[in-house]
Amino acid sequence: MAKHHLSRSAFERLKAEYEDLTTRGRIEVADKIETARLLGDLSENGDYHAAKDEQGHMEGRIRHLEHLLDPINHEIIEAGDDETIGPGTIVTIVYEGDDDDMAERYLIGHPEEKTDALDVMSPQSPLGSALIGRGPGDWVEYEAPHGVLKVKVLEVEHA
């Protein structure tokens, strides 16, 4: 199985989230469940069922984070010093036929790299894999669901 490529900042953020969920998060959910139990009949207790649902979702997230943070399953990528596209780089592209002012910016990386500022493009996606190793000025073709599309790399920067 391929390793998950994570930036140092994403790794640290995920590690902090894991520690928070396994300490404060579990205590808060346990308190909610206990409070709901005190309300009586559990079969018709909406608060109890909501707290148990929250606990299930949180435990699922904890298991997911454990998998990602296991050293066997991830590799921390460091930013390079050239203008070649790879995991951890921010790429600005424009589709063939569009003006440069219609350019789109993406962070090439793992979905857990998501920030408010940028959408993330997986390096395993059709466009993401076609962009790997390319640089500014390069035209890249890739197979999309409805045919071949072509994009121009305008800019590459390191996250």
Tell me the per-residue pLDDT of 104-115, one tens digit each, with 9 for 90 and over. Answer: 999 998 888 887
Domains of the chain, first to last: 4-76 (1.10.287.180), 79-158 (3.10.50.30)
Report d(CA 2, CA 24) in Å as an integer: 32
Give first-to-last CA distance, the chain, whole Å: 26
Burial of 106 (0-12, 13-18, 19+ CB in 10 A): buried
User: CB atoms < 10 A from the CB of 40, how many?
Assistant: 10
Tell me the per-residue pLDDT of 57-107, one tens digit each, with 9 for 90 and over. Answer: 999 999 999 999 999 999 888 766 678 898 888 999 999 999 999 999 999
Q: pTM of this prediction?
A: 0.74
Report d(CA 7, CA 87) in Å as an integer: 8
By the 8 A CB rule, do 123 and 5 touch?
A: yes
